[in-house]
Amino acid sequence: MYARLSSVLFPIATILLVGSLIWGYQEHQEKNSVLIKAENQYQRAFHDLTNHMNRLQDELGQTLAVNSVSQAAQRKGLVKVWRLTSQAQNEVNQLPLALLPFNQASDFLSRISDFAYSASVRDLTKQPLSDDELKTMKSLYAKATDINKDLGKVEDAVMSDHLRWMDVEVAMASKDEPGGNTIIDGFKAVDKKIGSYPENDWGPSSMSTKSRKSVQMLTGPDVSAEEVKQKALSFLGTRTFSGNEAEVKVTENGAATQMPIYSVSINGHNGDRIEMDYTRKGGELLWYMNPRTVTTRKLDLAATRDKASQFLLRHGYKDMTPVTYDQYDHVSVFTFVRQQDNVRIYPDKVTVRIAMDNGEAVGLQAKDHVFAEKTVKLPAPKISKQEAEKVLNPNFKVQGHSLSLIENEMKKQVLCHEFVGKIDGSRYRMYINADTGVEETIEKIPESAKALLQ
C-alpha cells in the first residue's frame, strides 16, 4: 500500500518541486530584468545630465563670445540655454536623489533658466543686455565650468569603477546616514558648492524660481498619465493638431522627488512639437510651449492683450490683470498678476505668449500661479497713499498707483503702495511698505511696456 502511495505521490512531489524551481527562476529573472531596466534609466539620465550641463556651459560661453551688437545671435543662444536648463532639470528629477540634499543645484538651474528666459523674450534690439546682465552671464559661465569639473569627476568614477545607481537608491533608502558612496559624496559636494552662489533678483513682476515648491503645496488627488493626456488635448483643442488624431507622448518624471510631474509632447502644425508639464498631484498645468514660427504681424498691442485675457479666462485663470509687456519675433509677451479686492497679488502670476498673426496663445508659464495661495488675507494699509508718496524722490513723476502684495528680500509677503512713474527719462515701479513706509524695492520698466501703462 505504501509503495503504491509513494509511487503516486513521488511524481507529484517531483513535479511540484520542479515547478517551484522554475517559478523561482522566472521570478528572479523578472526581478533582475526590472533592476537592469531601472539601472539603465538612471545611467542614461545621469549621462544626459552631464552632457546637457557641458552644452549649457558651451552655450553660455558662445553667447558671451558673440559681438554685443549681434542681438539675434545673443537671443538664439539664450533660448538654447533656457532649453538646456529645462532638460537638465528633468534629468535631475529622474535620478534617485529624493533623500539627498541636492536642492541648491536644482535652484541654480532655475536661476539660469530665469535669467535666460527673462532676457530672451524681450526685444534685444531695443533693450540690449545691460552691463550687469553681461556680468551675470560671465558669473554663470564660471560657475557652470566649476560645476562641470565636479560632475566630470563623478562621471569618470562611475565609468571607471562601474558604479551602480541602484546602490545609491539602496543607500538613500537605508535608515543609516548614507556615506562612503562615491556618487552620493560627489553630488553632496556639488550641492554644497552651489549653495554658496548668490541669487539673482528680477523684481516682483518677474517669474519667480527662487521659492521652494513641493507637492505638499498642492491639493487634489494624483492623476494618471491617461488623465493628463486628456487634460492636454482638452487644453489645446483639436484645431492645434496636424492630421485627424494627435500623437501624444506622456512621460512621468521625478516620481520619487518633491515635484513629480508629467511631461507631455504633442505634434502640432508643420511638425512642431508642443511641450507641456503637469503636476502629478492635482494635474495642474505648469507650462506650455508651442514653438511654431510666427512670420507676420497683423494684431496690435490692444488686440493681443484682449486675446491673452480671453485665453486666461477660458482656461480658468480669473481676476488677472496685465503688468508687463514685451514683444519679439511677432509674438507679444504679457505677465498677468491676480487681483483680489483691487490689490495686485504679485506672487500669483502667469506669463502668456500671443502670436501676432492670428492671436493664438503659443506659450504659458503658470508655475507661480499653481503654487500661490488662492485666497490671501490682506491687511489694511497703515499709511495712506499720500503718506507713502512723500517717501518718493521729489523728481519722480507719479503716473499710476495701486496697492500690491509682493515678496520682499526676506521671502515675506508685504502689502505695498505701488507707484508707477518716470524719472530721468526712465520708468520705474516703486514699492513702499504700506505698514512701515519703508521703500521695499524698485523695478525698472522696459521701454517696450510703455504702451501697456498708458
> Considering the domain boundaries, does residue 274 fall inside one?
yes
Nearest to residue 321, comparing CAs of 346, 355, 358, 304?
346
The pLDDT score that the predictor gives to residue 202 is 47
Question: What integer pLDDT is reported at residue 313 of this predicted model?
Answer: 94
Q: What's the pLDDT score for residue 305?
A: 93
**Range of 84-93, 134-143, 435-444 with top mean pLDDT:** 435-444
Which among 163-172, 249-258, 402-411 has the top mean pLDDT? 402-411
User: 47, 6, 24, 372: which is closest to 218 by C-alpha?
Assistant: 372
State yes or no: pLDDT of 285 exceeds 70.
yes
Least confident of 38-42, 302-306, 367-371: 38-42
Both 232 and 187 in one domain: the answer is: no
Helix (H) or strand (E) holding 313: helix 301-314
What's the domain range around 447?
Answer: 385-453
Judge if 61 and 173 occupy the same domain: yes
Whether residue 236 is found in the same domain as residue 189: no
- pLDDT 10s digits, 184-216: 666 666 666 565 555 545 455 555 544 455 566
- Residue 353 inside a domain? The answer is no
Position 401 scores a pLDDT of 94
Predicted confidence (pLDDT) at residue 270 exceeds the cutoff of 70: no
**pLDDT, position 407:** 86
pLDDT at residue 19, as a whole number = 61
**Taking phi first (over 0 means left), then psi (-120 to 50 degrees means alpha), and beta for anything else, what does residue 330 get?**
left
- Quote the pLDDT of residue 130: 78
Which of 283, 303, 327 lies at the terminal end of a domain, its last residue? 283
- Residue 327 in any domain: the answer is no
Report the mean per-residue pLDDT for the chain.
77
Q: Do 40 and 182 belong to one domain?
A: yes
pLDDT bin (cut points 50, 70, 90) of residue 417 is very high
Identify the pLDDT of residue 352.
Answer: 92
Residue 144 lies in a domain: yes
Structural domain contains residue 396: yes
Q: Say if residue 136's pLDDT is above 90.
A: no
Which residue among 242, 264, 283 closes a domain? Answer: 283
Instruction: Please indicate, yes or no, whether residues 195 and 224 belong to a single structural domain of this protein.
Output: no
For residue 39, pLDDT over 90 is answered with no
Q: pLDDT > 70: what percent of the chain? A: 68
The answer on 246 and 126 residing in a single domain is no
Where residue 435 falls among pLDDT bands split at 50, 70, 90? very high
Q: Which of 425, 439, 415 is nearest to 345 (CA)?
A: 415
All three cell numbers of 355, joined, read 502670436
> Can you tell me the distance from the alpha carbon of 46 to that of 91, in angstroms, rounded to the nearest whole number?
7
**Is 301 within a domain?**
no
pTM greater than 0.85 (yes/no): no
Rounded to whole angstroms, what are the CA distances from 44 to 121, 164, 177, 210? Answer: 32, 12, 26, 28
255 domain residue, yes or no? yes
Question: Which tens digits make up the pLDDT trace of 208-233?
Answer: 544 455 566 677 888 999 999 999 98
Given 248, 283, 318, the domain boundary residue is 283
Q: Does residue 2 belong to any structural domain of this protein? A: no
For the ranges 96-105, 234-243, 293-302, the one whose mean pLDDT is highest: 293-302
Query: Is 47 found in the same domain as 177?
Result: yes
Say how far apart CA 332 and CA 359 lie, in whole Å: 9
Q: Report the candidate in 313, 314, 160, 130 with the shortest Cα–Cα distance to residue 237.
A: 314
Do 398 and 264 share a structural domain? no
Give the phi and the psi of residue 77 in degrees, each rounded to 5: -65, -40
Residues 100 and 246 both lie in one domain: no
Shared domain check, 175 and 47: yes
Rounded CA separation 291/83 (Å)? 12
Q: Are 166 and 39 in contact (CB under 8 A)?
A: yes
Grid cell locating 133: 546682465
Whether 45 and 154 share a structural domain: yes
Which residue did the predictor score with more confidence, 64 or 35? 64
- pLDDT of the residue at 128: 80
pLDDT digits (tens, 9 = 90+) for 355-413: 999 999 988 989 889 888 888 888 899 999 999 999 899 899 999 999 999 987 667 88
- Total domains in the chain come to 3
126 with 176, same domain: the answer is: yes
pLDDT tier for residue 32 given thresholds of 50, 70 and 90? low
The pLDDT of residue 317: 93
- What is the average per-residue pLDDT within 344-357? 92
pLDDT surpasses 50 at 175:
no
> Can you give the CATH number for the domain in which 448 is found?
3.10.450
